[in-house]
Chains A and B, each alone.
Chain A
C-alpha cells in the first residue's frame, strides 16, 4: 500500500501509526488466514483439484448451493420489489412495524432462524401441516433449503432498493403522466428502469449471502448427500473427516465465486453512479 505522500505532509497527525496498525491488524486477521487457504490449495495438483470438484458429491453440493441460491435471489428480487413498493408508496396499518422488522433478518442469529424455520415447516409445524395436506413437503427437502435462502436474502433487496425509491423524484412520474403515459407505462418505463441498478445490487448481495449460508439452512435441509447437502456443509463434513484438501478445494471455488459477485456489485454501483443524476441519490 503506497501512501502517496499523504502521511508526513498532512495537517493531521497519526497517519503513519494508524495506517501501520490498520494494515497489521488486517493482515493478521484477514489476509494471512485467507492467503493460507489459497496456499493450501496449491498443495494440490491440478488433477487432484479437478478430481475433487468433479466428484459426484461435491458437484451436487455446489449445484445445490449455487442453483438454489440463484432461484431464491430471483424470488427475493420480485418479492423485495413488492415489499419496498408497499412500504414506500402505500399507507396501511402496521406499515412502520413491518418496515422495522425487515432488519430483524439481519440481526437474528442464523442458528435461531434455522431452528425456527424448521419447526415452522416441519410436518407437524404451523405451516408444515397445512402444506403437507396439499402434498407439499418443505422441511428436510431441497425446498426447505430454498425457503431458508429466501429468508436470509430478502433484507438485502429491500434495504438496497428502498432508499432509491424514496428518493425518486415525484416530478418524473408527474412528467410522464402529463405526457400522456398511463400508470403501467409510467411504472414500467420510468420508475423500474431507474431502480434497475439497485435491484441488481440487491439481487447480487442476496445471491452471495445465500451461496455461503450455513446456519439457517442446515437444520431444515435434511442434509442428504447429493440431494439436499449444501457446499458449506460438505466443507464441514470433509473437515471432520480430516480431508483438508477436499475442504480447501470447495472453499476456494466458493471464495472465488463470491469475490466475482462482489466485484460485479462494485461495478454495478459505479455504473449506477454515472447513470443516475446526483440529486436522486442524495438523501439530504
Chain B
C-alpha cells in the first residue's frame, strides 16, 4: 500500500508536482499517464527516494518513507534506459542487490546463485547470464533490469517508461508479458508512460496527470468513457473537438443551434468532444449537424469519412468512423448525431 499526500515539488519557479494525492492498494498495477513535463516521472522518483519533495508525505505499508533514503526503502526501480551496470555480466547485475546486503542478512553464495537463476528463469533469459549488457537487445535489457529490481524482493515495483526505448513490435510483446508477470508475482506496481494505449492495455488503474496535478484516476474503461476534463478527453483516445457556445442549456455551433442538450454546463464558450465512432450518420435533416462528405477511405469494418460541417460563416472539417452498412460517397449530404458526447466549459 502506497500513500502519497499533498506532495509539492518545485524546480526553481516551475512546479513539477502541485499538491498531489494518490493511494495505491496492494497488488495493483497502476499507470501514471501524462504528456512529458506532467510530473509523472518526478512522482515515481519521489516514491523511490531518488528525489525529495518540498512538502507532503509518502508512506509505504503505513511507514513514513521519507524517513529513509532510497537504499533503505526496498523499492524496485526499473529505469527508462535500464541503467544496467555495464562492467558486470547479466548474472552479476541481477546478483548486485543481494551482494550489497549487510553481512548479517546476506545470503551465502549458493543461495545467491539459486535466487539469480530463479529470476533469470522468470524473465526467460537464463541463457544470457554470462553476457554483458552491451551484448543484449533492448527488450532483453529491459527484462534483465526488471529481474535485477525483483532480486531484492521489493515491497513495490516502480517502472519509468518501461517500453519507451523499444521499437513498436517488441513493445507490444513486452506489454502482455509484463501484465502476465504482474499476475504471477503480484507485487504492487506503478509504471510511468506517455502512451495512452500502453496505459489502457496494461494497467488495472490509470492515473492521468497534467501540469503537475492528477486530473483523473479510474479504470481504463472509466477514463476512456467518462473523461473528467477536456484534457483527458483529448489526451486519451482520438476525439472530434468542436468549439461551441452554450446558452442556458442549449448548444450552438457558429451561431446555429444544435439539437443536443448541455445540462449542467455553465453558459459561455465551450468545447464539444465526440469520439469518432460515436457520430451516427443519418439521412439529411435528422441529426444535430449537416455536412458534405468530402473524402472516404475504407479499411476493415469501418469507413473513415471527412465531413465538412456548414456552421455559420465558416466550415469545419471533421473525421468520423462509420460502420460500412451504408456506403458513403464524396458529395453526399449527411446528417450527424453524437450518440455520446461531452461538453466542457472554457476555451481549453
Residue of A nearest to B45 (CB): A11
Q: Is B37 an interface residue (CB 8 A)?
A: no
Q: Is B136 an interface residue (CB 8 A)?
A: no
- Docked Cα-Cα span, A8 to B69, in Å, equals 10
Give 1 or 0 for each of A1-24: 1 = CB within 8 Å of chain B CB: 000000011010100000000000
Stretch at the interface among B48-56, B214-222, B270-278: B48-56
Contact: A9 with B69, CB < 8 Å?
no
- Docked Cα-Cα span, A11 to B45, in Å, equals 9
Considering only residues 54-90 of chain B, those with a C-beta below 8 Å from chain A are 69-70
Residue of B nearest to A9 (CB): B52
Dominant secondary structure at the A interface: loop
State how many angstroms separate the Cβ of B54 from the closest Cβ of chain A. Answer: 9
- Docked Cα-Cα span, A13 to B71, in Å, equals 10
Residue of B nearest to A13 (CB): B69
Q: Which residues of B contact A11 (CB under 8 A)?
A: 45, 49-51, 70
- Docked Cα-Cα span, A9 to B11, in Å, equals 12
Q: Which residues of B contact A8 (CB under 8 A)?
A: 52
Considering only residues 76-107 of chain A, those with a C-beta below 8 Å from chain B are none
- Docked Cα-Cα span, A13 to B68, in Å, equals 12
Residue of A nearest to B69 (CB): A13
Which of A8, A11, A13 neighbours the largest number of chain B CB atoms within 10 Å of its CB?
Answer: A11
State how many angstroms separate the Cβ of A9 from the closest Cβ of chain B. Answer: 4
Q: Which residues of A contact B52 (CB under 8 A)?
A: 8-9
Q: Which residues of A contact B50 (CB under 8 A)?
A: 11
Q: Which residues of A contact B70 (CB under 8 A)?
A: 11
- Docked Cα-Cα span, A29 to B50, in Å, equals 35
- Docked Cα-Cα span, A9 to B51, in Å, equals 7
Q: Which residues of A contact B51 (CB under 8 A)?
A: 9, 11
Q: Which residues of B contact A9 (CB under 8 A)?
A: 51-52
- Docked Cα-Cα span, A11 to B69, in Å, equals 8
State how many angstroms separate the Cβ of A79 from the closest Cβ of chain B. Answer: 42
- Docked Cα-Cα span, A27 to B167, in Å, equals 51
Can you list 5 A-B pairs with a CB-CB distance of less than 8 A?
Answer: A9-B51, A9-B52, A11-B50, A11-B51, A11-B70
B residues bordering A, Cβ < 8 Å? 45, 49-52, 69-70
A residues bordering B, Cβ < 8 Å? 8-9, 11, 13
Extra inter-chain contacts (6) besides given A8-B52, A9-B51, A11-B50, CB under 8 Å: A9-B52, A11-B45, A11-B49, A11-B51, A11-B70, A13-B69
Q: Which 5 A-B pairs have the closest CB atoms?
A: A11-B50, A9-B52, A11-B70, A11-B51, A11-B49
